[in-house]
C-alpha cells in the first residue's frame, strides 16, 4: 500500500467573523467552515477479485472502475483549517485482496461555546477493478457507483444512492434520499426511509434470490426485461399499482388499487415491493 497527502486550498476566516467568535456568544449552525481541503491518496495492489470496504463519517462516496490490478482511494478531507483537517483519522488496512478504509471524526470538544465549530467531512473517490465486491457506507452523504460487477452494499444515513450499469447482487439503504439502480441484476434489496425508488433491470437480469424494494414515503418504479420470472407481491399504503406492457397471471387483488399479487413470466423468486405513501409502477424495460 502506498499513500501521499497534499493540501488543496486554505482560506482564512474573515476578521469580522473571528472577532465575533472572540465574544463567545455566537450560535452558528450550517455556516460554511469547510474552507481547507487536503487529499490523502492511497493505493492497494490486488491479484484477484478484491473485497473493498469503505466508510466515512460524513461525505459522499464515488466508485468508478478502471483496468488496473490496483485499488485507488482518494480521501478529500475538509475543515476550517489545516489543524481541523489533521484531526480527521484515516485508517487503511489490507489483508490479501481484502481492503478496508475507514475515515472517522474525532470526538467533539466540550467547551463553553454554543455553536457547531467543527464542521468536518471526508469525501471518498475510489477506483476499482470492474469485478469487485464493494461495501460503501457514509454517515451523511450521497453514494454513486457505476460499472462494478459483484456483491455491492451501499448505505447512507442521509443521502441519495445511485448505481449505474451494475452486475450481480445489490443492497442499498438510506435513511433519507432517493435510490436509483440499473444493470444486469441477480439480487436487489433496497430501503429508503423517505424517497423514491427506481430499479431498471437490464436484459439478462434473473432473480437468483428474493428481491425486496421498500420506501417509507415515495413512488416505486420497477422495470423488468422480457423473460423475467418472479412472484410479485406489491402494496402501497396510499397510492395505486400500475402495469405498463407487463402481464401478470394468477392475480390476487386489483390493478390500480393498493394491493396486488401475481406471477411474472414463469414465476420464481419473490419480488416484494412496498411504499407507505406513493404509487408503484411495473413496466417492461
Under DSSP, the state recorded for 131 is: B
Give the mean pLDDT of 220-241.
96
Q: Is 22 exposed, middle or buried (0-12, 13-18, 19+ CB in 10 A)?
A: exposed
Q: Interior CA angle at 138 toward 171 and 124, to 5°?
A: 105
Beta bridge partners of 280: 220, 241
Place of cell 430501503: 191
Give the mean pLDDT of 161-175.
98
Helix, strand, coil tally for the chain in percent (to 5): 5, 55, 40
| Residues listed for the chain | 285
pLDDT for 256 = 86
Predicted confidence band at 236 (pLDDT cuts at 50, 70, 90)? Answer: very high
The phi, psi pair for 84, rounded to 5°, reads -60, -45
Give the mean pLDDT of 222-246.
96
For 122-167, write each residue's pLDDT tens digit: 999 999 999 999 999 999 999 999 999 999 999 999 999 999 999 9
Give the mean pLDDT of 222-228.
96
pLDDT for 106 = 77
Residue 91, Cβ neighbours under 10 Å: how many?
10
Q: Which of 153-167, 201-215, 242-256 has the lowest mean pLDDT?
A: 242-256
pLDDT above 50: residue 217: yes
Which run of H or of E encompasses 21?
A: helix 15-23
Q: How does the average pLDDT of the chain come out, rounded? A: 88
Burial 209-230 (b: 16+ CB within 10 A, else e): ebbbbbbbbbbbbbbbbeebeb
For 23-38, write each residue's pLDDT tens digit: 333 333 334 445 899 9
pLDDT for 229 = 97
Q: What percent of the chain has pLDDT over 70?
A: 84
Place of cell 441484476: 185
Kindly write down the DSSP assignment for every residue of 114-125, as one continuous string: -S-----EEEEE
pLDDT for 13 = 40
pLDDT for 35 = 82
For 68-115, write each residue's pLDDT tens digit: 999 999 999 999 999 999 999 999 999 999 999 999 987 765 554 434
Amino acid at each position: 500500500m502506498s499513500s501521499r497527502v497534499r493540501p488543496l486550498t486554505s482560506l482564512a476566516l474573515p476578521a469580522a467573523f473571528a472577532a465575533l467568535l472572540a465574544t463567545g456568544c455566537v450560535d452558528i449552525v450550517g455556516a460554511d467552515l469547510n474552507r481547507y481541503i487536503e487529499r490523502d491518496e492511497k493505493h492497494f495492489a490486488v491479484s484477484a477479485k478484491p473485497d473493498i470496504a469503505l466508510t466515512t463519517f460524513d461525505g459522499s462516496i464515488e466508485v468508478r472502475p478502471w483496468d488496473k490490478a490496483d485499488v485507488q482511494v482518494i480521501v478529500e478531507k475538509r475543515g476550517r483549517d489545516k489543524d481541523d483537517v489533521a484531526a480527521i483519522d484515516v485508517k487503511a488496512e489490507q489483508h490479501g485482496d481484502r481492503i478496508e478504509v475507514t475515515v472517522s471524526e474525532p470526538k467533539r470538544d466540550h467547551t463553553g461555546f454554543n455553536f457547531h465549530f467543527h464542521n468536518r467531512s471526508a469525501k471518498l473517490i475510489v477506483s476499482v477493478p470492474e469485478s469487485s465486491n464493494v461495501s460503501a457506507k457514509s454517515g451523511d452523504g450521497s453514494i454513486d457507483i457505476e460499472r462494478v460487477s459483484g456483491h455491492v452494499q451501499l448505505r447512507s444515513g442521509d443521502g441519495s444512492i445511485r448505481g449505474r450499469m451494475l452486475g450481480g447482487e445489490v443492497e442499498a439503504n438510506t435513511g433519507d434520499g432517493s435510490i436509483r439502480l440499473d444493470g444486469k441484476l441477480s439480487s436487489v434489496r433496497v430501503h429508503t426511509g423517505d424517497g423514491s425508488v427506481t430499479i431498471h433491470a437490464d436484459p439478462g437480469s434473473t432473480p437468483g434470490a428474493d428481491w425486496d424494494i421498500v420506501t417509507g414515503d415515495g413512488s416505486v418504479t420497477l422495470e423488468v426485461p422480457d423473460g423475467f420470472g418472479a412472484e410479485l407481491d406489491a402494496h402501497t399504503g396510499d397510492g395505486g399499482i400500475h402495469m405498463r406492457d407487463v402481464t401478470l397471471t394468477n392475480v390476487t387483488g386489483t390493478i390500480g388499487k393498493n394491493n396486488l399479487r401475481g406471477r411474472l413470466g414463469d414465476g420464481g423468486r419473490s419480488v416484494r415491493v412496498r411504499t407507505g405513501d406513493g404509487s408503484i409502477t411495473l413496466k417492461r424495460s
